[in-house]
Amino acid sequence: MPSETVSIEEGYVVPAGLGETRAFASTGTEPLELMVIGVARDMDAKLEYMASEDAAIRR
């Protein structure tokens, strides 16, 4: 799969579909801050995640 490099700025949105991945790297002098919003593929997946240790450490 070809890679792409783009500059992002405050307010930019980088969508990713279910099963897709994205990678980010800060090339500037300021810290890179991201807001990540995840959506479960279905209610069973959400309930499974909420019961997992991964979810417990984020509470």
**Residue 59 covered by a domain:** yes
Q: Both tokens of residue 25?
A: 């790297």
pLDDT at position 29 is 92
**Residue 58 covered by a domain:** yes
Q: What is the pTM of this model?
A: 0.53
pLDDT tens per residue, the chain (59 residues)?
667 888 888 889 888 888 888 888 888 898 888 888 888 889 998 898 889 988 877 66
> What is the span of the domain harbouring residue 41?
30-59
pLDDT at position 7 is 86
Q: Both tokens of residue 57?
A: 């450490």
Q: Please state the domain count of the chain.
A: 1
**Residue 51 covered by a domain:** yes
**Residue 49 covered by a domain:** yes
**Residue 12 covered by a domain:** no
In the chain, % helix, strand, coil (3-state, to 5) comes to 20, 0, 80
